Structure formats: C-alpha cells, structure tokens
Structure 1
Amino acid sequence: MALDSQAKFLLEQMAAAGAPPMSSLSPEEARLTTDFSALAGTPETVGKVENRTIPGPEGEIPVRIYTPEGDGPFPALVFYHGGGWVIGDLDTVDVPCRLLTNRANCVVVSVDYRLAPEHKFPAAADDAYAAAKWVVENGSSIQVDPSRVAVGGDSAGGNLAAVVALMSRDNNEFELAYQLLIYPVTNHSYETVSYSDNADGYLLTKNSMVWFWDHYLRDAEDGKNPYASPLLAAELSSLPPALVITAEFDPLRDEGEAYAQRLKEAGVQVEATRYNGMIHGFFWMPGTLEQGMQAVNQAAEALKRAFTKEEKVL
C-alpha cells in the first residue's frame, strides 16, 4: 500500500524542520525537543480530571484520572503512554485519553511510570503493574467498578500493558477485563521484515528503537525476559481479550502482529487491525491524521464491548 497522504505531508513537514535524529540526542534533550501534542487536536472536555499520586514500589506514582459525565461506578482503562520507556508523559496522551473517556464512557487512569535510563527495567513494568493493581483494589474511591478494569497503551506503553496482563495472570492477584495494545513493542529484536522495510523515513526508526532499548535494559539478558519481551513468554493462555492495532509503515508492525497471532493460538480472543498507509505514533495524532481518530474510535468501541460483556457475566 502507499503511504497515507496525510502522513506523507506530516513526514515532509518534519523533514523540512530538520530536527536531529533521536539516536543522536541525550535522554534529557529528547524529552525537551520531542512534542507531538500540537498534532493531537483540541482536548475534549470530560466530566472531571484529577492529577494525583498513588503508591508505587519505589515511591509515589503520578497519575491523571479522567472521569466521564454521569454517575459511576464506571469501567476503567489503565493507560500507559509511549515513548520508548525514555520520553513521554501524561500530557503526551492527554487528548487520546480524553477521547477514550468520552467514547468508551469509562474512567481512564493515565500512568506516569518511571523512565529510563534513570530507572531501568523492570522499573516501568513494576510501576505499571502497581498502578493497575491499585485501580482494582481502590476502584470504589474513584467511581470504578473493580471487576471491569482494562489495561492499554501505545508503543512502549503497549508493551507495558501486555506485560501487566502477563504479570496479573502469573501473580494471580487480580483479573483484567481487556488489553488494548496499540503498535506495541513485544520483542527485543530487530530482525523482522518491518524493521528492514521501515528502518528509516517513517518517524520511528530502527536506530531510535536501538537507542530506546539500550537505555531501558540493564543488559542484553533483560531483553529475553518476557516482562520486557512478551512475545518470548512461554505461555500466553488465560490472558484477557485483546485489540492489537498496528501501522503498515512501522518498524514494530511485525512483532505486534506476531503477538496477536500467538495470543490467538493460545485461545485468547483477539481483534487485530493493521492501519494501511499509517506510521508509528498515529494514535497520538487524531487531530492531524484521520486514521488516528479512527483508531481511537475503534479502541473505544472495543472497550465498550468488553466492558458490557463483563457486566453480563456478573
């Protein structure tokens, strides 16, 4: 397929701006210079937005809680932003989180987990798990039905959502209703066709992913841990249903689709959608890319169906 015309225009604008490649920057420089919020569109009004902290394994974790209009208890989505575990914050995904709150009629708890390289693996995964556990155990305090809690995220956040689903199954401390995996990182490897075909020129590059992984992992052995590379998990059965969204012109396309296939083979209910013509990061850009808004709407509809199904089971 051809590159989407809106994505092509965006990439041309970025190239003309002449920003240095991510892999040439320090983490601090990357955090200061990487900002896609202008591409997200106008933030929608939701019923309530609260910034607060919740207990984490190594101190307080900042979260932003979006609550829809109306009376709870509501289902909830615990959301983890992307950014290669190195960049990104609550503001990065503010617009998509608001859209999901309104369209899925659920509370969204956006998690500001610890970033690398200051906090290497498994810090982000431990924070992500602690946040989901807190929402399940303390749901009533934020108008959440603890039996209808999903996890989700994009890119590195999609990795964390998949990992939290694995951890919750393995630890048997709480159950999740759904997992929303948006172009997730699933494997510490660069050997796929999509890495070869989309190594440069489509926003996320192979060199950037090497840079992200090198900052996140303590050593190469960490990359073999299923809580870093969920595609390497020996067993994927008994996991919550999933929506896996991938983008055609994305180095991460094949590993996301491989994870969806392995989930299906393990008997997990999976909806897998490749957005043709799209680039990595498009879920952050619903104000600029029409397919970005389509993906947000698809995610919201999938969440609504999952949450309704949970209601019928109870």
Structure 2
Amino acid sequence: MRFTELPKRWKTQIIILSSISVLFFVLLIIFNLFLNEYRAENEKQRTKLVKNDSELIGERIEIPRDGKNSVKANLYMPDTIGNERLPVVFNIHGGGFVGGDADVLDTQSDRIANEWNVVVVTINYTKADVKPISYGCEEIRDVVLYFADQAESYGIDPSKFTLIGYSAGAYYAAESTRMLQQSDFDMASLVLCYPWTTGLNANKLKKDFPPTLFVLSGQDPISQKAKKYVKDMESTGLEPDVIEYENAVHSFIESNNPEGMIENSVDMSDVINSEQQSLAREAETAISEWIFDRADHPAGSP
C-alpha cells in the first residue's frame, strides 16, 4: 500500500514519528559536536598546566596495568634517604573533575617529600569529560596497588600509604580508598581537603574504613557542604577528624605555590596571598602531624 493510499490518521502519525526521529538525530549530532568542543577546550586548558620536562621537579613515570592503559604519574623522593622504608603520600589534584594536572602539585609535592621524609606520587587520572569518574578512581587504585607490589624496589612501606585529595581530587581519593578496601588493601589514612562530597555514600563504607581527616576552609561553600558527609560518616560509626581554617578559601593549600600563578588571566588575589599562604603551610604541618600520629597509633591499637 502506498503512502498516499493510507488513512489520514495513519499518515499523520507517520509524519509525526518521522519528524521526531529526524529531530532526535539532529539533537544527537548537535550534542556530539558540543561534547567534542567541550572536551577539546578542557584538554586545551589542561595542557596549559603541564610543565616542560626540563622544568618539572619530580620524575615522570608511567604505571603499567594488565590489559588496561597505563597511568601517568610524577614521583618525588626525599633528598636524604636512610635505610628505613618510607611512607608514601599519593597526592591527588583537583580541578572540578575535568580540569587540573598532576604538575600543579609539583612544587608542593617536592616540598612535603623532603619536609615529611616521605615518597610522594601525584597521579594524572583520566578526567570525567573523557571517562566516567569511576574509571579515574580505578586508575588511582591501580597505582596504589602497583606501588604496594613494588614496595621493595622503591624502599617504601605499604602499611604507611596515605591518599590526599583536594576538592574534586578528594572525591577521587575517597572513592579510590573505598575501592582499595574492596581489593583487600587498606590505606593507612585518608586526607580530604575542602572535598567535593556530593555523590559519596557513607553507607557504602566498611566499619574499618581508614582513619580520615577533613581539612575545611571556613570561607568555602564546598567545605561547608562537606560537613554533612562528615556527619554521615559519624552516623555509620566512623570517627573522622576535622580541622577547619576559618579564614581559608577554597584551594588555598595547592594554589599558594608557583604553579598557582599559571592561569594569570583570572584574578586569584583572594586565594593567592600572604594570609592564605601562611594558612596553607600551617595546614600542611597539621596534616603531616595527623598522618604520623595515625601511623604511630593505628586504629584499634591501645
């Protein structure tokens, strides 16, 4: 039967359905174009943060993974190394889930490697505009497990591994810690600095979840929202610690380093200044004291 011979009602329905199908495909094409442009712009902004190899203080390394893409990371060793196996701090940068780069933590990671006498690893996890957040968390998990497996080669102590995350990086750090427990590996401690916590579920955490420290900024809405997650953890029986710097703003710790001035097109004077820098160094000292106190008095010890 030809279209012209169909009842009018059928013709109308076919025309409507055809129009909807065409509109759907047009919208799909427009969305893909937008997504590609969005990804390209994010990649452009991320590239601005990458240092030349000659300028990088840390050592660029790639972490192999069975059947998966390797993960790029930067490695920092203290200048003076004794015979004792060192703790490891995995330093996870922020950037709103789609921005940032491990290189923005270059100066800070080198500083804390020497001041804390630890090995520091910064991880260039895949951003959420390229792969789901869970993929980036799996990358971080696999990097931690790699270093645990290669502990003897690096002279490190797998029982003294700490994840530190900043903003969106704190979300990745928290979820990676949960994934590590699922893989039967327990981090010694977890530090969440002004963390993005929307989407985290405290009910998924085990009762022996690693000791957790929240470092919050008093002038930061994201930090204030994180207080609900602190209460959620407490309601499950966990006992997270909280340090809040009343005058601190978001990203005050990592921004007050030379890398914080890379994006000079934006006025960062409220973040990068002498007051915030002083608070940043104070926070780093407090974090190190908390980490080493946890190492000396692990959960469950008398």
TM-score normalised over the length of structure 2: 0.70
SS class of match (2:246): strand
- Mapping of 1:1-314 within 5 angstroms? 26-30=38-42, 32-33=44-45, 49-56=58-65, 58-68=68-78, 69-71=80-82, 72-169=84-181, 171-187=182-198, 229-231=199-201, 233-287=203-257, 288=273, 289=276, 290-310=278-298
CA distance in structure 2 between the partners assigned to 1:284 and 1:138 by the alignment: 28
1 CA distance for matches of 2:239 and 2:148? 22
Post-superposition CA distance 1:134-153 (Å, at most 9, x none): 12222222121111111111
Partner SS for 1:230:
coil
- 8 Å contact kept, 1:53–1:60: yes
Q: Based on CA coordinates, which of the two structures has the bigger radius of gyration? A: 2
Cα distance 1:312–1:103, how it changes in 2: closer, same or farther (>3 A)? farther
RMSD: 2.9
Distance between the aligned counterparts of 1:280 and 1:31, measured in 2? 23
- Distance in 2 of aligned mates of 1:276 and 1:311: 29
Structure 1: distance between partners of 2:56 and 2:286 = 18
2:96 aligns to what SS in structure 1?
coil
CA separation in 2, counterparts of 1:184 and 1:303? 18
Count of residue pairs brought into register by the alignment? 240
- Give the 3-state SS of the residue equivalent to 1:52 in structure 2: strand
Deviation at 1:295, TM superposition (A): 1.5
Contact persistence 1:148–1:307 (CA under 8 A): yes
Q: Once structures 1 and 2 are overlaid, which stretch shifts more, 154-163 or 55-64?
A: 55-64
SS at match of 1:101: helix
Question: Aligned partner of 2:75: which letter?
Answer: I
Structure 2 CA distance for aligned equivalents of residues 145 and 173 of structure 1: 16
Per-residue deviation, 1:112: 0.8
Greater RCO (Cα-Cα under 8 Å, separation 6 or more): 1
Structure 1 residue 161: Cα displacement: 1.1
In structure 1, list runs of 5 or more residues that go unmatched: 1-24, 38-42, 188-228
Letter paired with 1:95: T
Question: C-alpha distance in 2, partners of 1:121/1:306?
Answer: 29
| Cα contact 1:165–1:176 (8 A) shared by 2 | yes
Structure 1 window deviating more from structure 2 (301-310 vs 155-164): it is 301-310
Alpha carbons of 1:240 and 1:302: their partners in 2 closer, same or farther (altered >3 Å)? same
Instruction: Indicate the percent of aligned positions where both proteins have the same amino acid.
Output: 22
One-letter code aligned to 1:184: P
The residue type paired with residue 210 of structure 2 is P
SS in 2 for 1:131: helix
Give the SS at the match of 2:141: helix
Counterpart amino acid of residue 211 in structure 2: P
- Give the secondary-structure state (helix, strand or coil) at the position aligned to 2:221: coil
Instruction: Report the Cα offset of residue 107 of structure 1.
Output: 0.9
* Cα distance per residue 1:50-96 (max 9 Å; x no partner): 22111246311011111112224101111211112211111111122
Change (3 A) 1:277 1:239: same
Equivalent pair of 2:93/2:122 in contact (CA under 8 Å): yes
